[in-house]
A and B are shown apart, each in its own frame.
Chain A
């Protein structure tokens, strides 16, 4: 399902062929058949799946495939520097920071692409004229379309912030700070990624509803309305958490996503089966039934559909396997090796958490029905991602840092001087509240004077005083105001001096 989307973003969207984009053209179910020839990868695979539903899947695969082509060339190159980026996580190389930045840009672009597809689907749905009998997804259903459009607003905002941070990272001229800024994009990117995924799922429901309204006069409009309302209610809390952009809430919502997608997939399947039964009962013509079924095929949830409902705990038997070409479920490729490589860079640099990647892969792999939200990835894939306690610890909300989650937040750039920093460009997505760190008490006391050699006498180690003096005196030397990047550059060198990790979290004004 969304797996793709998820793939996010990666996969699906990247190529502009998110499933939703095709939906509007699918009125004539028969037109699907010829498309089979366009998805060879798909055709080779589905031995374990019912042929009828699965041989058609137009684009799911076209996403990964195109991406594969697009990225083939640089691949060796990228792989070759893999070790460097690992070191980067440990502290070094400008080159690895550049690779991380590249991965962030790619991921952002792909989410943007997915979001564009979702938006296009919303507008097309809204613009579709009523059919001959006057049915369309407007009227009382308009609220469901509006609901989607509202989400689009914050998703654009999150992606915009991520872009601002990525741009700033490219100019700061300090590798640690660059990675610190790139890590700040993580929660925004992750929220936009999974938010878009959910929204694409919502589009699927709307497409199904549209098909039902148009093709099933016997189906109850009231029931459909109620069903959609229930589905919306299931998505709402997660969307709210994601929209908060709060790293901890985003992370929690992300890890719950596979379970939610499983529930949504069941809802979708039920809705579709009920419709089919009603239509059969009403003696609907085959073309009309196919129109409804078609929605399933283009749905972002189709990956998971074959296992709905699981007659047996399928996921126990069909696990995810990491192969040289990517992650497989049986003979079906779930995500490409390129995608894994991109994720590896993001994970290694602490931008995206391992649990988030797990959730994406599980969703993509259709491993969502067992409601094992916290299921872990197979070892091969974890190895490919370079998973380790240290890597998890890189991520602010990672388990390894769980003990820190209660440690108080501190402004690196003293908030007593907020205005001074505003004058130097610390506004909006880059205001000083974005540059907070969690410090354990001992560390905090140490840098604020408590642990110093000569407490409060001649030793000027108190952080706020020190950083402001360094910045102000640097301006005296330069004979001008420092730029935002220069302030960050000096802050970075001071943070290294005090061994303050460049893992920024958002704080609030005191």
Chain B
């Protein structure tokens, strides 16, 4: 049960201290070492009761901006969202329940996307609706082929 302790004290310092304890010098490195692990679970790895998923999300975004890899970060967010809502991959039968799980994952993806990328994510979602992936599709990293087609990195 979450009890709001994540927001007490200097949580940014706490977050980076936990990373150092685990031998990582950045959140990005930590996240890459745990591919396709849902964000809330990543947060729990760093602090069961005192780190929130949204803090990890915010930290990853900030680091991605510095590295100029925001698009890759946005793809990574979807990977983690999908692995939480659809752990067995894209549904083979679109019944009410699986349609909801897809909708939830993609809706949350949009909500978690920085303003700079919202429009592109909307287009990517429209493309997904028009051409749904094969049943069982389960991207394991932001480098997934289909994902890179849907949301390619900007040309440098």
Contacts and interface: CB of A to CB of B under 8 A. Distances in A.
Interface of A: 89-91, 176, 179, 393-394, 439-440, 442-443, 446-447, 451-454, 458-461, 466-467, 469-478, 482, 486, 489-490, 493-502
A497 B54 contact: yes
A228 to B, nearest CB: 47
A502 to B, nearest CB: 8
Contacts of A89: 1
Contacts of B40: 496-497
A183 to B, nearest CB: 11
The 6 closest A-B pairs by CB, nearest first: A474-B107, A499-B52, A477-B103, A470-B111, A473-B107, A443-B7
Contact of A474 (B2, B8, B103, B114): B103
Contact of B110 (A393, A470, A498): A470
Interface string B56-77: 0111011001000000000000
A460 B111 contact: yes
B4 A90 contact: no
Contact of B106 (A394, A467, A477, A497): A477
B134 interface: no
Given A460-B114, A501-B3, A475 B8 contact: no
Contacts of A497: 39-40, 52-54, 57
A475 B108 contact: no
A494 B104 CA distance: 11
B52 A474 contact: no
Interface of B: 1-8, 11, 39-40, 52-54, 57-59, 61-62, 65, 84, 99-100, 102-104, 106-108, 110-116, 118, 125, 129
Contact of A473 (B39, B58, B106, B114): B106
Nearest to A477: B103
Contacts of B111: 460, 466-467, 469-470, 473, 494
A473 B108 CA distance: 8
B108 A461 contact: no
Contacts of B52: 497-499
Contacts of A179: 1
- Does more than half of chain A's interface fall in helix, strand or loop, or is it mixed? helix
Taking each of B53, B108, B111, which has the highest tally of chain A beta carbons within 10 Å of its own beta carbon?
B111
Contacts of A470: 107-108, 110-111
Contact of A500 (B2, B39, B84, B113): B2
A297 B113 CA distance: 69
A86 to B, nearest CB: 12
A497 B54 CA distance: 5
Given A443-B8, A454-B62, 20 more contacts: A89-B1, A394-B1, A440-B8, A443-B7, A447-B54, A453-B59, A459-B58, A470-B110, A473-B111, A475-B103, A486-B104, A489-B100, A490-B107, A497-B39, A497-B57, A499-B3, A499-B4, A499-B52, A499-B54, A500-B2
Contacts of B58: 452-454, 459, 461
B1 A90 contact: yes
B62 A453 contact: yes
Contact of B7 (A90, A461, A477, A499): A499
A459 B114 contact: yes
Contacts of A475: 103, 107
A158 B1 CA distance: 27
A451 B4 CA distance: 14
A453 B61 contact: yes
A471 B104 CA distance: 8
A503 B4 CA distance: 11
Contacts of B102: 477
A505 to B, nearest CB: 14
Contacts of A394: 1
A184 B46 CA distance: 31
A472 B11 CA distance: 30
Taking each of A90, A458, A499, A500, which has the highest tally of chain B beta carbons within 10 Å of its own beta carbon?
A499
Nearest to A474: B107
Contact of A459 (B61, B84, B104): B61
22 contacts: A179-B1, A443-B8, A452-B58, A453-B62, A459-B58, A459-B61, A459-B114, A460-B113, A472-B107, A473-B110, A474-B100, A478-B103, A486-B100, A489-B100, A490-B107, A493-B104, A496-B40, A497-B52, A498-B54, A499-B2, A499-B52, A499-B54
Given A497-B40, A497-B54, A474 B6 contact: no
Contacts of A473: 106-107, 110-111, 125
Contacts of A496: 2, 40, 53
A350 to B, nearest CB: 9
A275 B111 CA distance: 73
A474 B3 contact: no
Contacts of B3: 393, 499, 501
